[in-house]
Amino acid sequence: MKKATLVKLGLSFAGILALAACGSSSTKSASETEDGKTKVTWLNVLHTASPPTDKIVDLIEEKTDTEITFNWIPDASKEERLTTALASNELGDIVTLQIAMLKNSSVRNALKSGVFWDVSDYISDYKNLSKISEDRVNAASIDGALYGVPLQKDYARAGLVIRKDWLDNLGLDVPTTTEELYEVAKQFTENDPDGNGVADTVGFGDRAPSDIRYTSFKLFTSYFGAPNGWAVDDKGKFTPEFDTEEYMKAMNYSRDLYKNGYLSQDFAVTQKTDQQEQFAQGKTGIYTGMIDIKNLKKMGQGIQEGMELVPVNKISDGKDGEYHVWSEGNGVGGLLAFPKSSVKDEAHLKKLLKFVDDLLEEDVYKLMTGGIEGTHYELQDDGAINFIDMDLWQQDVQPLSSSRPSEITFSFKDADPEKELSNQLVEENTKFAVLDPTVPLDSEKNNEVGSEIQKIVVDATVQYIMGQTDEAGFKKAVADWKAQGGDQITKEYEAAYKAAQK
């Protein structure tokens, strides 16, 4: 397959950045073909088992007047493979840097040291790139410089999936407050919502807090008005979310759910797939992850006949009626970066930016999302998309869908009404998404120990929810976090924030 090669082997980041910064005479720069097309080599992340066929890539080439060569690196080993690519200088003209990689200290240092082009002064010159929101540009920038085109994502996708048939069976309405949500969890546990005469259901399912952002607890912090990661006041003072009253309210809410059996008692050791299966099997009635609604419905087929689901994105604490939901990455999924070792001059950079801009055109977006109308999909009378041959779509299109520079520019209407409603609620989340002020800021101490000391607080949070420690024990964990680097991280964020305001 001429367009799909896999990068192999692996090296540490140590020698990488020096090699990448210096460049190499063996690196092939993009150039024009004999017929004037721009050559584009793209080091990209593969989220599927196999690269795409050439069918859609060929059409994208026609529409963008380019010749594209993908160098695919598997998602499961992207960090290792990216380090290899950097070390061997097989970067190509465009490099996909996902949001998680932007938190890596070595990658951030590479960006700040001039390995990649700063495109801050260029994107306003392009039809589609100029429409990227200021919030996303700020979130994707480091020290005020934008080292690539931001990969645009929804601001906030978080929400709940609730068994609508269980609500109806018990005469309950869809909850809109934390108090009502608690009552639903209670009734789903104690009042036989499936009518089988057996006490075998639990209100909330949940998963292990290896990444606490995707647990019910993280949503609860939003409901009670806690900051997303960090709070910053009008004087530039930073406070971590877990050192706020709202965070404590969310912990007490989860603690009460757990104590009374309305939250799965094995949540701390439950993985996501198990959480989904528990819901699909009718063991739990509330699932955290609104965007999974279609998959949950599919999993329940043949197991839970008559299953009806409803996505829920708006829950308030019942006091002021306001809604809050945490934003992942402030609407940014990473960067499409342009290495100076491959992209030698401004003229070359502009051709590549034009290519990325073209990828945001509706016809190209549709190719990368649905494929070819009449071959991969058809549109129903109501405009909803219906896939003709999923196997063919998975071969030709699916690997490219995650390569779109934006997931928000256009959208197909989903034929599943529950999934379509979920999509609409994700868009509605934009109105009350809570951004993380530290996303565009840099803290060397956080890069060094942030992930390690975060575990102190996460462990204490789980222990508190499960009744294994009290408020004093939790506050001691917060004090330990501060002593082991948290105070320094706070000071560095405050300094970076102050510098960014100038």
Angle at 213 between CA 212 and CA 219, to 5 degrees: 105
Residue with tokens 């998963």: 207
Region 476-498: mean pLDDT is 97
Number of Cβ within 10 Å of residue 308's Cβ equals 14
Q: Are β-strands 238-240 and 325-326 bridged in parallel, bridged antiparallel, or unpaired?
A: unpaired
Q: State how far the Cα of 237 lies from the Cα of 230, in Å rounded to an integer.
A: 10
Could you tell me the pTM of the whole model?
0.87
pLDDT score of 25 more than 90: no
CA dihedral 385, 387, 392, 395 (to 10 degrees): 50
**What separation in angstroms does the CA of 388 have from each of 370, 376, 416?**
10, 5, 15
Q: How confident is the model at residue 6 (pLDDT cuts 50, 70, 90)?
A: very low
Do the Cβ atoms of 147 and 118 come closer than 8 Å?
Answer: yes
Residue 236: the pLDDT is 97
From 20-29, 248-257, 318-327, 396-405, the region with the lowest mean pLDDT: 20-29
Query: What pLDDT score does 319 carry?
Result: 80
- Return the exposure string of 478-490: e unless at least 16 CB atoms fall within 10 Å of the residue's CB, then b: beebbeebbebbb
- Of the candidates 268, 212, 214, 252, the one whose C-alpha atom is nearest the C-alpha of residue 455 is 212
The three-state DSSP-derived secondary structure of 307-373 is: CCEEEECCCECCCCCCCCEECCHHHEEEEEECECCCCCCHHHHHHHHHHHHHHCCHHHHHHHHCCCE
126-156: pLDDT as tens digits:
999 999 999 999 999 988 899 999 999 999 9
Place of tokens 């800021």: 441
Cα–Cα distance between 461 and 451 in angstroms, integer? 15
- Please tell me the distance from the alpha carbon of residue 30 to that of residue 41, in angstroms, as a whole number: 7
Dihedrals phi, psi of 361, to nearest 5 degrees = -70, 150
Residue 365 has pLDDT above 70, yes or no: yes
Reported as type and span, the H/E element at residue 192 is none
CB 370 within 8 A of CB 412: yes
Tell the burial category of 2 from Cβ atoms under 10 Å away from its Cβ (0-12, 13-18, 19+): exposed
The domains located in the chain, with CATH, are 38-155+330-409 (3.40.190.10)
Question: Coil, strand or helix: which one is 141?
Answer: coil
Measured torsion, CA atoms of residues 138, 140, 146, 149, in degrees rounded to the nearest 10: -120
333 contact partners, CB below 8 Å, separation of at least 6: 98, 99, 151, 152, 153, 407
The answer to whether 256 and 276 are in contact (CB under 8 A) is no
Tell me what pLDDT residue 429 has: 97
| Residue 21 reports pLDDT greater than 70 | no
The residue length of the chain stands at: 502
Q: Is the pLDDT of residue 479 over 70?
A: yes
| pLDDT at 254 exceeding the cut of 90 | yes
* b/e per residue 425-463 (b: at least 16 CB within 10 A): bbbbbbebbbbbbbbbbbbebbbeebeebbebbbebbbb
Q: What is the pLDDT of residues 121-132, one digit of tens each?
A: 999 999 999 999
Query: Which pLDDT tens digit goes with each residue over 225-238?
Result: 999 999 999 999 99
**How many CA atoms within 13 Å lie on the side-chain side of 256?**
13
Q: Which secondary-structure segment (H or E) carries 157?
A: none
Please state whether beta strands 38-46 and 94-98 pair in parallel, antiparallel, or not at all (unpaired): parallel
Local structure of 478: helix, strand or coil: helix
**Amino acid identity, residue 12?**
S
- DSSP-assigned beta bridge partners for residue 42: 92, 94
Q: pLDDT band at residue 192, thresholds of 50, 70 and 90?
A: very high
Q: Read off the DSSP letter of residue 184.
A: H
- Lowest-pLDDT choice from 100-114, 319-333, 376-390: 100-114
Task: For Cα atoms 372, 373, 375, give the angle at the middle one, nearest 5 degrees.
Answer: 70
**Alpha-carbon distance 280 to 359, whole Å?**
37
Q: Which of 17-26, 315-324, 330-339, 430-439 has the lowest mean pLDDT?
A: 17-26
Residue 105 pLDDT: 66
Tokens for 422, please give them: 């979920």
